[in-house]
Homo-oligomer: A and B are copies of this chain.
Amino acid sequence: MTAAVTTPDSLPHGDASPGSTLSGPMLPAFADVLAAAARIAPHAKRTPVLRSRSLDELAGCELHFKCENLQRVGAFKFRGACNAIFALDAATAARGILTQSSGNHGAAVALASRLRGVPATVVVPEGAPAVKLAGIAGYGARIVRCAPTMAAREAAAEALRAESGAHLVHPFDDADVIAGQGTVALELLRSEPALDALLAPVGGGGLLSGCSLAAKTLRPQIEVIGAEPAGAADAIASLREGHCITDMTARTVCDGLRGHLAPRTLALLQRHVDELLAIDDAATVAAMRLLFERLKLVVEPSGAIAFAAVLQHRERFAGRRVGIVLSGGNVDLDALPWQAMA
């Protein structure tokens, strides 16, 4: 299942410095990705790009794995949160940071706030993995629980914002967050400049939109593809319909990909992404296990879905140089998904 993507010219984009625009949400430009790279450099890791002969043979193409599971907090989310929080002026930052997150973004905000020296509060939906909750608490943030819906998350965060005056760092509908996530593709293409294709997971779309912006700027001929859980395919529907679909119920093992697109990420995906592929959870779990076995990396389900997309569409990628973002590695080791499925 794929979604054709149109490229409307009516959306605002290309602001070199984030700010309001006349006709829509402010979008980051490539210059913002470069600025983010410089801003987060003292704090974030330059993650390695790993290769595997046996996985190349299995997939029938040349795989370059960008290991964001080895990023701080165990996920790419640290890049965007770090960029957004360090971009704040001192007075704003001092009022504290607030966010809502199913896990990795919450841990990222908690750590980046601690590094900036300001307090953080994270709204976490019931049902988030214990390992991710422990991460948030471990970095010293205050945790507030809410019901497991996007509406409940956003309402709880807004109530806390109104009450405390804290600065809300949205997990993806934020130009600085998107620019920070784009540094994943920036680093990958600087290290592997001749990639033919780049695949990343899509949930709220922050990673994919930032990476597509960076990748298409650095290498216009690259194909940029998103992988979305078949049981949470709101991004595919949103691109088909041309507006954000936010009333779908997510049913997927990929706990990091249950969010919906927001105006900024939709606009960037429309502009820069060639295709989205819907991937069944069984394929994602099989790919995740292969990454454990062959690459010797701990990857969470959301982090393995882009590799699953390559394995499910072998003919499409045959013989090509393919970049794959392994987006995170925070998984409950007492409940690995192939055990639940056995």
CB distance from A156 to the nearest CB of B (A): 28
Q: Which residue of B lies closest to A72 (CB)?
A: B53
Asked whether A338 lies within 8 Å of B333 as measured between CB atoms, the reply is: yes
Kindly list chain B residues whose C-beta atoms are within 8 Å of the C-beta of A334.
Answer: 338-339, 342
Kindly list chain B residues whose C-beta atoms are within 8 Å of the C-beta of A296.
Answer: 67, 69-70, 74, 297-299, 329
Within 282-319 of A, Cβ neighbours of B (below 8 Å) are at 289, 292-293, 295-299
In-complex Cβ contact of A289 among B48, B293, B299, B333 (8 A): B333
Kindly list chain B residues whose C-beta atoms are within 8 Å of the C-beta of A74.
Answer: 296
Q: Which residue of B lies closest to A292 (CB)?
A: B298
Asked whether A336 lies within 8 Å of B338 as measured between CB atoms, the reply is: no
Interface size of A in residues (CB-CB distance below 8 Å): 24
Kindly list chain B residues whose C-beta atoms are within 8 Å of the C-beta of A298.
Answer: 292-293, 296-298
In-complex Cβ contact of A293 among B53, B131, B292 (8 A): B131
Q: Which of A74, A289, A298 has the most C-beta atoms of chain B within 10 angstroms of its own C-beta?
A: A298
In the complex, whether A50 has a CB less than 8 A from a CB of chain B is yes
CB distance from A300 to the nearest CB of B (A): 9
Complex Cα spacing A240 to B285, Å: 49
Number of this chain's copies in the assembly equals 2
Complex Cα spacing A279 to B292, Å: 26
Complex Cα spacing A338 to B336, Å: 12
CB distance from A289 to the nearest CB of B (A): 6
Q: Which residue of B lies closest to A329 (CB)?
A: B296
Q: Which residue of B lies closest to A134 (CB)?
A: B293
Q: Which residue of B lies closest to A69 (CB)?
A: B296
Within 94-146 of A, Cβ neighbours of B (below 8 Å) are at 131
Complex Cα spacing A69 to B294, Å: 10
Q: Which of A48, A53, A289, A296 has the most C-beta atoms of chain B within 10 angstroms of its own C-beta?
A: A296
CB distance from A191 to the nearest CB of B (A): 13
In-complex Cβ contact of A333 among B297, B299, B329, B336 (8 A): B336
In-complex Cβ contact of A50 among B70, B292, B293, B295 (8 A): B70
1/0 per residue, CB under 8 A from B, across A17-52: the answer is 000000000000000000000000000000010100
CB distance from A75 to the nearest CB of B (A): 10
Complex Cα spacing A296 to B329, Å: 6
Complex Cα spacing A298 to B269, Å: 34
A residues contacting B by CB (< 8 A) are: 48, 50, 53, 67, 69-70, 72, 74, 131, 289, 292-293, 295-299, 329, 333-334, 336, 338-339, 342
The 20 listed contacts between A and B (C-beta, < 8 Å) are A48-B48, A50-B70, A67-B296, A69-B296, A70-B295, A70-B296, A74-B296, A131-B293, A292-B298, A292-B333, A293-B298, A296-B297, A296-B298, A297-B298, A333-B336, A333-B338, A334-B338, A334-B339, A334-B342, A336-B336
